[in-house]
Amino acid sequence: MAANSKETFLYCKERVKLENIKYLIFEDNSEISDLSEVFFNDNCVETSLIHGPYNNREPEEIEETVEVDNNECKEESNVILITEYEGYGGKKKKTINLFLHYPVPYTKMIDPISRFFRILGGVLSCVPARYIMVIMCVIGVLLQYTLKIFMSVAIVAMVLTENKNITVSSMSNKASEDLDVCPGGETVSSSEDEEGEFYWSEDIQGYILSSYYYGYAATQLLGGRLSEIYGSKVVMGPGLFVAGLVTVLCPLAARIGSGMLIAARLIVGAGSGVVISSVMYLMTKWFAPEEIVFLGGIILAGVPVGTVISMTSTGVITTAGGWPLSFYIFGGISMSFIVFWIYLIYDNPEKHPRISEAEKKCVLSNIKTTDKNSYPVPWLAILTSMPFWVHTINGIGHGWVNYTLMSDMPTFLSNILHFDLEKSGTMSALPYVTSGITCVLSSYTSNWLRERGYISRITSYRIFNAICSYGSSICLILITFSGCDSTLIVILLMAAVGIAGFFQGGSILNHIDLGSNFAGTLSGIYLTLVTMMGIFSPSVTGYIVNEQETLSQWKIVFYLGAGISSCCCTLYLFFGKANSQHWNILPSEIEENPQEKERSSDQDII
């Protein structure tokens, strides 16, 4: 649209400076270099403008492409957003290139990467910032769980199991009831495909699988506390990057020796350990208390989704390209996540550059904005808090069953039911499809029941905890009566893991209710102790089934899991609480609202 074809009117909503504008180039590549023919409204300050032909732009001139819309005009680092009016009547959205005579601070000629993020920012500016945060947190949790879980499938391909397969094949026609093992229902296609590189005993495999959890447990509290001090943005992203980088190096470590692989997996766990505690603290800065259960449930649905992806794809990837390929793929994707995390995530609404004013006001009006860093953590009160310990013990019971199935299910399906690697991974993942569904469903249902006043918060926690623990325990016990019926066992495993997903609608985030002002620290303590079950559970399973795996040995594993889960849940049903504790009240909050301390001591409504 050339200036001499018709009059051009540029409307500025706010008073802005125009002295740096040199050219206006419209999306049809027409230009206006003589701005004397352009009409501005009164808000636009008239200044002397430097003119010149389009093809003789000086090297230091900077091109900024901006999307402009009606009545959208503001000054941002000397880049002026304006609205073009076609004559006195119509108005139309245009892409306008502003050629600035003076360099804009921190701006340079647009390279492909910068252009990509500008386009991405423009697209995401239409999406509420909280939704973007939820999506990114889901992806972060998902990636963290792929790094955690895929090893339980990959290790089956890494370990030499040829002799065991031959033995099973020779017993395939014998009664499993007499030998306490299942007949070989699956035929080994070729020894070359089934052979691994390493002669590792069941004990060594247990150490490799559990080493991740040593590092994972060690950094939970550190990640939560660092998030409170420095913000979740600079804690979670780098942690996941380190975990991805070391995962890429794991094949090299394995070929050096099992000890080196154990050390590498420990570092992967340490990097991953900051993820969920950082996310839990971030939720308190963006979500109102009544939203945390539902939106937190959506975020933590990344756990079963990541489990499904890692278990199903690892077998396929390993079969197609060898076991090292799964390390390269999952590690590389996790490393790349940091780029998007840094660009899209901010620690609170006040720091977010693209959030709308309406959304910012909505979020800030529903959350506490007290600076918690200026107050010390009440360690003694937390460590002697009965409600917090009851909640933690309940989480430990859930964690034992969860980590037993997560780490050892592929081994059980491969060595007892004799599934091949790809089928073992797929069958291990199927239960987590149901878990992903129940995670979101239970979170929504729990939130819906409380919002309408049908039940109190603590009652909803007790109901969903009971469904989770007792339901999954019953399924584990039924597996012990299923013999070698692989179809029935897979169905019961799907039911056990799916029912365990109801924990998301229960007390999984109970520590935020008890002490939201110290959510990062509480999350760290809670997750540290729960994660330790990922250390003990595979080790205990390896000790029970050590190199002589039979149905009787695995029955002990399932009975043990059912008993621990049920006992811990029963304790919570009697002694669990969901009200804010007295040690959660900051001095500044008492000064502003003296009734706050009394409210924190109120008993839960049953």
Is pLDDT larger for residue 589 or for residue 149? 149
- The candidate with the shortest Cα–Cα distance to 385, out of 126, 141, 576, is 576
**Local confidence band at 373 (pLDDT 50, 70, 90 cut-offs):** low
Question: How confident is the model at residue 326, as a pLDDT?
Answer: 92
- The candidate with the shortest Cα–Cα distance to 155, out of 211, 215, 212, 205, is 205
Cα(162)–Cα(167) distance, rounded to whole angstroms?
Answer: 9
Work out the angle at residue 206's Cα, subtended by the Cα atoms of residues 423 and 327, and round it to the nearest 5 degrees: 55
Q: What is the mean pLDDT of residues 448-466?
A: 91
Cα(424)–Cα(412) distance, rounded to whole angstroms?
Answer: 9
Is pLDDT larger for residue 406 or for residue 4? 406
- Does residue 162 contact residue 195 with C-beta atoms inside 8 Å? yes
So what CATH class is 148-161+200-600? mainly alpha
Query: pLDDT digits over 254-289, tens only?
Result: 999 999 999 999 999 999 999 998 998 888 888 877
What are φ and ψ of residue 504, in 5° steps?
Answer: -65, -30
Q: What is the mean pLDDT of residues 359-367?
A: 78
- The candidate with the shortest Cα–Cα distance to 160, out of 130, 193, 188, 131, is 193
Query: pLDDT digits over 557-593, tens only?
Result: 999 999 999 999 999 999 999 888 888 887 666 555 6
Establish how many alpha carbons lie within 13 A of residue 143's alpha carbon, considering only the half-sphere containing its beta carbon. Answer: 31
Would you say the C-alpha torsion 184, 189, 191, 194 has a positive or negative sign?
negative
- By the 10 Å C-beta count (0-12 exposed, 13-18 middle, 19+ buried), 470 is classed as middle
Q: Domain locations in the chain?
A: 8-117, 148-161+200-600
Establish how many alpha carbons lie within 13 A of residue 421's alpha carbon, considering only the half-sphere containing its beta carbon. Answer: 30
Token digits for 291?
A: 């939203």
Query: Count of H helices and E strands in the chain?
Result: 25, 9
